[in-house]
Chain A
Amino acid sequence: MIGEITHLRQLEAESIHIMREVAAAFENPVMLYSIGKDSSVMLHLARKAFHPGHPPFPLMHVDTTWKFQEMYAFRKRMVEESGMDIIIHINQEGVAQGVNPFSHGSQVHTDVMKTQALKQALNKYKFDAAFGGARRDEEKSRAKERIFSFRTKNHRWDPKNQRPELWRTYNARINKGESIRAFPLSNWTELDIWQYIYLEDIPIVPLYYSAERPVVERDGTLIMVDDERMPLEPGEEPQMRSVRFRTLGCYPLTGALESTAATLPEIIQEMLLARTSERQGRTIDHDQAGSMEKKKQEGYF
């Protein structure tokens, strides 16, 4: 009697299968790399999928210019370690217009510096497939997302026109100008991701671990004062608190969590004992109900 393949090994095998399929069936794939923990896992899996070769596609980071400093340092390190090429795309029009999360609000900032920027980059490099690290368990509306998610020439997701997906047999046919987003982590949960990072000793940005960091409290959310661009309100004084982050994005839009969990097991422990789902840390979702759905149609992940 042979033992069973553990759940993490099955998820790993499925992700590798998806990546190989995309690499073989598309002419010009790219891996969207956001520096977060899901991207770390995705990158790790890509290296496994094509070992002993390098993954046959570049990484691309759509940079809003408002990421945490530690994320930029980590990005540099991972590019060196993986030996992969990276494209860093910034929406220069947005920069020229001075778009930022403070004066323009999270919606405009995200739309211009992330959604529009991503479209610009996809058009510029003519990628026909883009890997993304989204998971089905992140949000209810993602539960039905395909692994090969078809996008029109305008990068729109048409919920009425998605292809049925059976077995491991993916339909990779597209016409010129059309593209797909491929989600190799579709069937992973947040817990799986953490357990896998632990099992495989995958490097992640240190911000996930608790440390004393300068924060201010706004509308009940702890925001880290990561650089001097953060305008402080009158009387506001950054305080050092022991915090960590469950998700990483633009620092002014990412809420920190008070915690003392400084190792992976402690993070997992805290997560299992606490009962708040990770999307809560993302200010972007609070704007309106069903907003993920809308963002996806517009081309945001």
Chain B
Amino acid sequence: MAHHSDLIETDILAYLKSQEEKDLLRFITCGSVDDGKSTLIGRLLYDSKLIFEDQLAAVSADSRKVGTQGDSIDLALLVDGLQAEREQGITIDVAYRFFSTDRRKFIVADTPGHEQYTRNMATGASTAELAVILVDARKGILTQTRRHAYIVNLLGIRHAVLAVNKMDLVDYDRQIYEHITAEYEDFAEALGLQNIHAVPLSALTGDNVLNPSTAMDWYDGPCLLDILETVDVTSDITAGPFRMPVQWVNRPNLDFRGFSGTIASGTVRKDDPIIVSPSEKTSFIKSISTFDGDLNEARAGQSVTLTLSDEIDVSRGDLIASSESPPETTDQFAAHVLWMHDDPLLPERQYLMKVGSTSVVAAVTELKYQVNINSLEHLATKTLGLNEVAYANFALEHAIAFDPYKDVRDTGAFILVDRFTNATVGCGMIDFGLRRATNLTWHEMDVSKETRAKQKNQKACVLWFTGLSGSGKSTVANAVEKKLQAIGRHTYLLDGDNVRHGLNKDLGFTDADRVENIRRVAEVSALLVDSGLIVLTSFISPFRDERQMARELLAEDEFLEVFVDTPLEICEQRDPKGLYKKALAGEIKNFTGIDSDYERPENAEIVLAGGDHSVDELTDQVLALLKGHSYI
């Protein structure tokens, strides 16, 4: 067991040889506070002799001070002693621990956080091949146990071990154990969890952790470590179809052009036929190149460099796959999404989605339902908050190749990144494609944007006015439009009045509705620009993300952001529609500047100092901008 191997002392060379054959298991421990996670991990670390004397000395001292075990050492302190964190109130999320036995090396994802538990557990579970789900024998299966099992299943972990802990506190009672396992098996089966094991144990005494328990001779199954050492996880990923996302194009000289990546699934051999997505070009594997020489075969988990027998275009973000079982490509799919940020997910807001080595702009088009992860009930929802899980439809800016997450983790998983803060705000697991990318091409019209604009003797663009209510957006926009009319330009002004009453009358003022409001306005503006008009829009448009989205719907230089920067105090004084008064009195909710944010533009083409200048002056500044960009 562990490093007890006498070989270390007697024949170190033989020992080292034996160590070369060890493999690796990544697992996660899940449990509620006080179920004994830390004690269990501490026990595994301690008994596998991976605790060094100085660490042990520190822990023994701590044990006497703060431990729960009197004079004997408190194993839990070995792992949850993040002293600085506790003192500074830093969120503890996922910590990784290591131990090894003569058969395997283990990486344990330990998620001691309480409040952020779902997010943290998902993070730890994403790289785990096995989950140990702890329950306290005295308490049995709790709501949390179901939640943990749900997340284990959601993240696609194929091996779960139910560890019924603290058996010493229930007199090692067989009936209690059997009652708990029966209940667990019922709902694990309902969830679809495969490969269920259960072990009665005591993390504190070590019974059935590393060694069979004499107190529980009624149990004749393997102890926990036996399961951890022998479970077969390799075939999980090598059995699938061959997939390799291209990370890096290796082109050191004219004679070598290789595509580097980590094989996500399956195996690949020299001469295998492959297809590159999304270009759908096909070729054959010419060589599997590594620093240690060419290989005849490589498989999931290996990082290699492939060369192909044809000179086809392949770049980072492409997926090289078996052409016998190619991946799907789509620009719309259904997926589970887990939200990881304080700012909620808003449908139609654009996020950066990263799948494998490819990145694409994506938005949720429909939140089908939220899953209550305690009861597993489906709930209707308009937004998704921190630690919440939903099933949703996504639309992507362009098609990507993917696999359902349950088939291949690496090509079916994605993270969502906020386009401004760059924070990782969510993650997801693709379920299925909603439509095949049928190479949908635009019908080439004979009449183009350019010809339409030319007919009007102008260049089309959008003047996107943004600013607080009462800042003067509409007044200035109106004055600019009049001037443009006067010099013979063809224009259209979109503002709250002509849009909120018709096109957008179904929308209110929640964040989600504001996003949708602006999305529609942006789309309409883009159509109007296509028709050759100079478009003026006058909306508060408080969020950077949506202004960015509008900008990206148009060609470069067609979108001119006009930030009417009038101080809030002045807007409040002006209060032309009496709205600030009502908002301050609490009669209107979600009013920008009062109880809803305005995110100031950072790269506006022009900033108008609303408080300091007359309408005429501001109008002239906008006209000067149009001249500068040769629109007039």
A169 within 8 A of B: yes
Q: Are the C-beta atoms of B22 and A187 separated by less than 8 Å? A: no
**CB neighbours of A48 from chain B (8 A):** 290-292
Closest A residue by C-beta to B238:
A2
A76 touches B (CB below 8 Å)? no
User: Which residues from chain B contact A95 at a C-beta distance below 8 Å?
Assistant: none
> Cβ of B398 < 8 Å from any Cβ of A?
no
Size of the B side of the interface (Cβ < 8 Å), in residues, is 86
B388 at the interface (CB under 8 A from A): no
Q: Which residues of chain A (8-31) have a CB below 8 Å from chain B? A: 8-14, 16-17, 20-21, 23-24
Q: A51-B290, A187-B98, A293-B84 are in contact. Are A265 and B22 (CB under 8 A)?
A: no
Cβ-based interface call for A73 (8 A)? no
Q: Are B415 and A17 in contact (CB under 8 A)?
A: no
| CA gap between A186 and B302 in the complex, in Å | 18
Given contacts A6-B23, A290-B84, contact A23 B126 (CB under 8 A): no
**Is A280 at the interface (CB under 8 A from chain B)?**
yes
Task: Give bound CA distance, A82 to B357, whole Å.
Answer: 28
- Tell me if A276 and B54 are in contact (CB < 8 A): yes
Among A116-124, A171-179, A203-211, the stretch in contact with B = A171-179
Q: What chain A residues lie within 8 Å of B43 (beta carbons)? A: none
CA distance A136 to B15 in the complex (A): 25
B302 and A24: CB pair below 8 A?
Answer: no
Asked whether A96 is an interface residue with its Cβ less than 8 Å from the other chain, the reply is no
Chain B residues with Cβ below 8 Å from A9 are 302
Cross-chain contact A144 with B248 (CB below 8 angstroms): no
- The answer, among B107, B301, B410, for a CB contact under 8 Å with A167, is B410
Using A144-B96, A168-B262, A265-B16 as known contacts, say yes or no to A2 and B85 having CB atoms under 8 A apart.
Answer: no
Mask: chain A, 49-84; 1 = CB below 8 Å from B; 0 = not: 111111000000000000000000000000000000
Give the complex CA separation of A199 and B18 in angstroms. Answer: 12
Q: Which residue on chain B has the smallest CB distance to residue A23?
A: B248
By the criterion CB–CB under 8 Å, are A166 and B16 in contact? no
Taking a contact as CB atoms under 8 Å apart, the answer to whether A195 and B19 are in contact is yes
**B487: chain A residues within 8 A (beta carbon):** none
Contact A17/B303 with A51-B289, A171-B354 known, Cβ cut-off 8 Å? yes
Residues of A within 8 A of B119 (CB): 164
When distances are taken between beta carbons in the complex, the residues of chain A under 8 Å from B235 are 1-2
Q: For the complex, what is the distance from the CA of A279 to the CA of B262, rounded to whole Å? A: 33
Residue among A16, A136, A171, A192 making CB contact with B105, cutoff 8 Å: A192
Q: Closest Cβ of chain A: how far from B294's Cβ, in Å?
A: 11
> Which single member of B126, B247, B352, B414 contacts A17 (CB below 8 Å)?
B247
Main secondary structure of the interface of A (DSSP, over half): helix
Residues of the A chain whose Cβ atoms lie less than 8 Å from the Cβ of B90: 159-160
| A269 to B14 CA separation, bound complex (whole angstroms) | 11
Q: Does B305 contact A (CB under 8 A)?
A: yes
Taken together as a complex, chains A and B put the C-alpha atoms of A165 and B234 apart, in Å, by 23
| Residue contact A49 to B303, C-beta cutoff 8 Å | yes
Q: How far is the CB of A6 from chain B (nearest CB, A)?
A: 6
* A268–B357 touching, CB < 8 Å: no
> With A141-B82, A171-B417 as given contacts, are A4 and B23 in contact (CB-CB < 8 Å)?
yes
Q: How far is the CA of A159 from the CA of B88 in the complex (A)?
A: 10
B258, B291, B427 — most chain A CB neighbours (10 Å): B291
Task: Contact check, B424 vs A7: say whether CB atoms are below 8 A apart.
Answer: no
- Tell me the bound Cα distance from A272 to B54 in angstroms: 14
Q: How far is the CA of A275 from the CA of B561 in the complex (A)?
A: 65
Name, among B20, B100, B238, the residue most crowded by chain A CB atoms within 10 Å (CB to CB).
Answer: B20
Do A174 and B126 touch across chains, with their CB atoms under 8 A apart? no
CB–CB B252/A54 < 8 A: yes
Residue from A47, A171, A289 having most chain B Cβ neighbours under 10 A = A171
A268: contacting residue among B12, B20, B56, CB under 8 A: B12
Complex interface residues of chain B between 234 and 264 (CB less than 8 A to chain A): 234-235, 238, 247-248, 250-252, 256, 258, 260-262
Known A21-B247, A23-B248, A173-B417: A160·B357 in contact at CB below 8 Å: no
Roughly how many angstroms separate A198 CA and B12 CA in the complex, as a whole number? Answer: 12
Query: In the complex the two chains form, what is the Cα distance from A143 to B357 in whole Å?
Result: 26
Contacts of B305 in A (CB 8 A): 51
Contact A195 B83, beta carbon cutoff 8 Å: no
1/0 contact string of B81-114 vs chain A (CB within 8 Å): 1111101101111111110100011010010000
- A144: nearest chain-B partner, CB-CB: B95
The reply on B483 being an interface residue by CB < 8 A is no
The minimal Cβ–Cβ distance linking A149 to chain B, given in whole angstroms, is: 13
Contacting residue for A144 out of B19, B94, B415, CB 8 A: B94
The answer to whether A230 has its CB under 8 Å from any CB of chain B is: no
Q: Is B83 touching A273 in the complex (CB atoms < 8 A)?
A: no
Chain A, interface residues (CB within 8 Å), range? 35 or more
In the complex, what residues of A have CB within 8 A of residue B289's CB? 51-52
Instruction: Pick from B91, B98, B127, B299: contact of A137, CB below 8 A.
Output: B98
Neighbour of B84 across the interface among A2, A141, A165, CB < 8 A? A141
Q: Is the CB of B248 within 8 A of A20?
A: yes
Interface residues in B21-67 (C-beta closer than 8 Å to A): 21-24, 52-56
Q: Which residues of A contact B354 (CB under 8 A)?
A: 169, 171
On chain A, the residues within 8 Å of B96 by CB distance are: 136, 143-144, 186-187
Flag B294-308 by CB within 8 Å of A: 1 or 0 each: 000001011101000
B357 in contact with A21 (CB, 8 Å)? yes
| A290 to chain B: closest residue by CB | B84
B529 on the A face (CB < 8 A): no
Determine the residue in chain A with the shortest Cβ distance to B412. Answer: A167
C-alpha gap A276/B424 in the complex (Å): 39
Interfacial residues of chain A within 208-222, with CB under 8 A of chain B in the complex: none
Could you say which residues of chain B place their CB within 8 Å of the CB of A1?
A: 235
Given contacts A141-B84, A187-B107, A198-B16, contact A273 B98 (CB under 8 A): no
- Chain A residue numbers with a CB within 8 Å of B98 are 136-137, 187, 189
- Least Cβ–Cβ distance between A268 and chain B, in angstroms: 7
Bound-state Cα–Cα, A21 to B13, Å: 36
Q: Which residues of chain A are near B258, meaning CB under 8 Å?
A: 52
Q: A171-B422, A277-B52 are in contact. List 17 more A-B contacts (CB 8 A).
A: A7-B23, A7-B24, A9-B302, A13-B303, A17-B261, A24-B248, A48-B292, A51-B305, A159-B85, A166-B415, A169-B356, A169-B414, A173-B417, A187-B96, A192-B105, A195-B19, A289-B83
A-B pairs, top 7 by smallest CB distance, nearest first, are A53-B252, A277-B52, A7-B24, A290-B84, A143-B95, A173-B422, A166-B126
- On B, residues with C-beta under 8 Å from A are 3, 8-9, 12-13, 15-16, 19-24, 52-56, 79, 81-85, 87-88, 90-98, 100, 104-105, 107, 110, 119-120, 122-123, 126-127, 234-235, 238, 247-248, 250-252, 256, 258, 260-262, 267, 289-292, 299, 301-303, 305, 316, 340, 352, 354-357, 409-410, 413-415, 417, 422-424, 427
Binding site for B on A (CB under 8 A): 1-2, 4-14, 16-17, 20-21, 23-24, 47-54, 136-137, 140-141, 143-144, 159-160, 162-169, 171, 173-175, 186-187, 189, 191-192, 195, 198-199, 265-266, 268-269, 272-273, 275-277, 280, 289-290, 293-294
- Between A and B, 30 residue pairs with Cβ closer than 8 Å are A4-B234, A5-B299, A7-B22, A7-B23, A13-B262, A17-B261, A17-B303, A20-B261, A23-B248, A48-B290, A48-B292, A50-B248, A51-B290, A52-B250, A54-B252, A144-B94, A144-B95, A164-B424, A165-B123, A167-B410, A169-B354, A169-B414, A173-B352, A189-B98, A189-B100, A266-B12, A273-B9, A275-B52, A277-B53, A280-B54
